[in-house]
Structure formats: structure tokens, C-alpha cells
Amino acid sequence: MSKSSFRTIEISDPTYEHAGLRFMTVKTANLQGRGDVCLFVPAEAPNFKDLPIYILLHGVYGSAWAWALKGGAHVAFQQLLQEQAVKPAIIAMPSDGLWGDGSAYFTHHQKAFDRWIVEDLPLAIAENIVGASTSSPLCIGGLSMGGYGALSLGSRFPSHFRAISGHSSITRLEQMTQFVEEPLSAYMDACQTPNVIDSMIENRDLLPPIRFDCGIADELLSANQTLHQELTAANIPHTYQEFPGGHEWPYWQEHVRKTFRFFDEQL
């Protein structure tokens, strides 16, 4: 067995796994500790060599289990597979590093929450999940704070990703204060590009395809509309949609299918 890139990794026992879900805990210097990830691994995985990896980032208060056990993301993807609407892929649902109410997925407090997602997560999957490799194409999506993470990480590290998708996304760092008890100043010690539009303009010629949506009853609707207007004014290609619903799990349970279809189309 080849040497692992990580000091320790714990992986769930297949005997007790259910519905294609697998859990993995990785010790990484980027977090100065351990990070969790919930994975949906399709039954077809052993037939592949470079299976795509679709990363889904959770919102505030959540963790690695949220997209699966509150959002049913794996169930939605399995249904799309059965309908032959998408091709097989691994769904990776990591924790954000579990700092405060939400880390916002960038480096602060000497912890690289961004590089945990962008570097450690794909490598840990490539080394431990049959069907994946370091050549597996990556796509990134998320909801709320996770939408902020997807839009910002996807635009800050554009060469890593083939597509970006956000649902009900925070678009500027100050919007975090609507949801968390930590003050805005707690996030600012190392954040160079706190707003999505800044990193998208900075890397405009390198961006992969982008889509995002928001519910018309969502408190972040105006923020998403503003991002759409800013991207349009900057002539940055993207797709923006609005649908009935609010900042709530029924909305994300329904519209995560659009993320999966979008990722599949880009591949």
C-alpha cells in the first residue's frame, strides 16, 4: 500500500455504511487537526479510474453530515443516476473546519480552511476511494455560507475546478454577521478578497462555468441579485436564476439537482 499524504485517516467500515454514504476523518496541517467528510460513492465507482468529484459545502451551524442527512443530496443524485440524467460521480461533503458558527472557507486564525477544501479533500479522496484519482475532475457547489465558499474558492482557485454552483449564497463577507455570533473582525486577519465579485473580476479570464440561484423569499435575494448585476456589468459569463422559496432546506433539497445536472453538463 502506498504511503499516505496524511498522518492519520479514519474511514468508515463498509459493513456499517448505508445508501452509498461513507465517512472519513483526515488529520491535516491546514486545519492543525482533523477534518471530517461525508462521501457518496456510487456503486459503479470500481469501474472507473478518474471518477469526477462534486464538492458540496454546507452552511453555518452545519458539518459534514448536513448535505446528506438534512439535504438528501445523495438521494437526489442517486435518483438522477437511475434516470440516466447524470453520469456517476463521487459527492464529497466536507466539514468547513468547525470554527465558530462557520469558518467561511478561507484562512484565518492560523487555519487554512480554504486549502483544506481545495487541496486536502481531493487528495484524501484520490488516495482512499476506489475509482478516484488525482486526475479526477473537480466541481464545487454549496448553500448559504457554502455558496460563498463555492463561489469564492472556485474563483480564487479557478484552475482546480471545472464548474461552480451556489444556492442562496452569501456574496460578501459582511453578510456572515446575519447568521453568526462571531464579529466580522474575527474573520479579517488574513482575508484578502472577502467579496465574491472581487475574486471573480481578479481571475475573470480563468473562471470555469458559473451558475447560482436564490429563492425569492430569501433574505439573501438582494445580495444575489447584486452579484448578478455586477457580473453582468463586468461581462463575466454566468447563469443566475430565481425560484419560489426561502433560506431553508426544502429549497436546497429541490435545487441541488440543478447543481448536479450543471456539473454533469460541464464534463
Residue spans of the domains in the chain: they are 9-266
Query: What three-state secondary structure class fits 195?
Result: strand
- pLDDT of 3 reads 82
| Predicted model pTM | 0.96
Q: Which residues are CB-contacts of 64 (< 8 A; sequence separation ≥ 6)?
A: 23, 36, 37, 38, 58, 93, 94, 95
CA end-to-end span of the chain: 31
pLDDT at residue 187 in the model: 86
Whole-angstrom distance, CA of residue 39 vs CA of residue 91: 6
Yes or no: say if 11 and 1 are a contact pair by the CB < 8 Å rule.
Answer: no
pLDDT averaged per 10 residues in sequence order, the chain, 267 residues = 86 95 97 97 93 98 98 98 97 97 93 97 97 97 98 97 98 94 83 83 97 98 98 98 98 98 97
**CA distances from residue 251 to 164, 226, 241, 245 in whole angstroms, order as listed:** 19, 21, 13, 6
- Select from 103, 92, 213 the least CA-distant residue to 151: 213
CA distances 229 to 170, 181, 217, 235, Å, are 15, 30, 19, 10
> Does domain 9-266 sit in CATH 3.40.50.1820?
yes
What is residue 193's predicted lDDT score, i.e. its pLDDT?
62
Q: How many other CB atoms sit within 10 Å of the CB of residue 61?
A: 12
Residue 2 has what pLDDT?
66
